[in-house]
């Protein structure tokens, strides 16, 4: 199923050397007829692979002021962090996942699911939001802070943690579920050219390249189900974020600088 809002994913991988699944979240329309401003918030996969030339492009061509990194401590240690501050870009960490939020048995079961390609991604996102409310609060507040944008946020692939973060932002701004689900679903295709960049993760869980490529595939239905869960259990994305500690002023600020009457 296609949606005219998601035909152009605004992919910037070719413009930023070393980028993976980097794209603008602007241009989507809300139910009220407003438009999410382009050039303000960008979602991305791993950013530690961006070259010096790519970092300069982030600063000079795109104007990125802030990067919010959703990777956990183990990932930061294993893969490192790009020298954003050398290019005048602020770096923040809002870690999601890791040893502190899963038991050893849960981690073993997760690996078994990965290898068998039997992951229920909606359930994974439910666990993610229930266990990491403070990280999603921090991410939203960073995006709502006008002096911090243009801002890019990312995890490893830019699919799961980043996908949930993007969904929370877009839904709270009034973008409809179907558009959000199709934006999420773009990631699977956009990650396929970058499968080899996940070699460390493949080796860590004992997966082949072919299995990992299948694991990176995305289904809009998983995001539809997750958004339905948010609505049924929390009253929607904005209500979830409020419960997580996001103040009213942050929502007002986000609507004020991220929405416009027209592009």
CATH number for the domain including 207?
Answer: 3.90.190.10
- Provide the phi-psi class of 235: left if phi over 0, else alpha when psi is between -120 and 50, else beta: left
Q: Return the minimum-mean-pLDDT range out of 85-99, 129-143, 151-165.
A: 85-99
Averaged pLDDT, 56-71: 97
Residue 2 lies in a domain: no
Does residue 61 register a pLDDT over 60?
A: yes
- Identify the pLDDT of residue 110: 66
Rounded Cα distance between 32 and 250, Å, is 19
Q: Return the minimum-mean-pLDDT range out of 35-44, 88-97, 198-207.
A: 198-207
If one compares 262 and 194, the residue with the highest pLDDT of the two is: 194
- Identify the pLDDT of residue 5: 46
Residue 18 lies in a domain: yes
Q: Which residue has the tokens 């981690």?
A: 107
- Identify the pLDDT of residue 1: 44
Residue 3 lies in a domain: no
Sign of CA dihedral 12, 178, 68, 34: positive
Range of the domain at 175: 8-257
What token pair was written down for 244? 């997580």
Residue 262 lies in a domain: no
Residue 57 lies in a domain: yes
- Identify the pLDDT of residue 115: 61
Residue 87 lies in a domain: yes
Q: Which of 131, 74, 135, 125 is nearest to 99 (CA)?
A: 74
Per the CB < 8 A criterion, the answer to whether 242 and 17 are in contact is no
Residue 101 lies in a domain: yes
What token pair was written down for 57? 């492009």
Average per-residue pLDDT for the chain: 90
Per the CB < 8 A criterion, the answer to whether 240 and 234 are in contact is yes
Averaged pLDDT, 211-223: 89
Residue 228 lies in a domain: yes
Rounded Cα distance between 17 and 77, Å, is 23
* pLDDT band, residue 221 (cuts 50/70/90): very high
* pLDDT band, residue 101 (cuts 50/70/90): very low
**For the chain, how many structural domains are there in total?**
1
- Identify the pLDDT of residue 29: 95
Averaged pLDDT, 30-48: 96
């Amino acid at each position: 199923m296609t949606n005219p809002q998601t035909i152009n994913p605004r992919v910037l991988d070719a413009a930023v050397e070393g980028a993976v699944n980097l794209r603008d979240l602007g241009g989507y329309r809300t139910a009220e007829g407003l438009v999410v401003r382009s050039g303000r918030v960008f979602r991305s996969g791993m950013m530690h692979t961006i070259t010096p030339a790519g970092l300069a492009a982030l600063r000079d061509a795109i104007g990125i002021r802030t990067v919010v990194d959703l990777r956990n401590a183990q990932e930061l240690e294993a893969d490192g962090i790009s020298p954003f501050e050398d290019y005048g870009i602020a770096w923040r960490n809002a870690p999601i996942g890791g040893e502190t939020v899963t038991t050893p048995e849960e981690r073993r079961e997760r690996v078994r699911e990965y290898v068998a390609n039997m992951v229920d991604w909606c359930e994974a996102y439910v666990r993610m939001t229930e266990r990491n409310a403070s990280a999603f609060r921090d991410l939203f507040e960073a995006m709502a802070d006008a002096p911090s944008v243009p801002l890019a946020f990312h995890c490893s692939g830019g699919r799961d943690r980043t996908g949930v973060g993007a969904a929370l932002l877009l839904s709270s701004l009034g973008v409809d579920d179907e558009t959000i689900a199709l934006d999420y679903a773009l990631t699977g295709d956009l990650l396929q050219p970058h499968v080899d960049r996940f070699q460390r993760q493949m080796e860590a869980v004992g997966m082949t390249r072919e299995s990992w490529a299948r694991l990176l595939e995305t289904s809009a239905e998983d995001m539809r189900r997750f958004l339905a869960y948010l609505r049924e259990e929390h009253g929607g994305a904005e209500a979830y974020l409020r419960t997580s500690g996001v103040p009213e002023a942050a929502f007002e600020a986000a609507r004020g600088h991220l929405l416009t009457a027209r592009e």
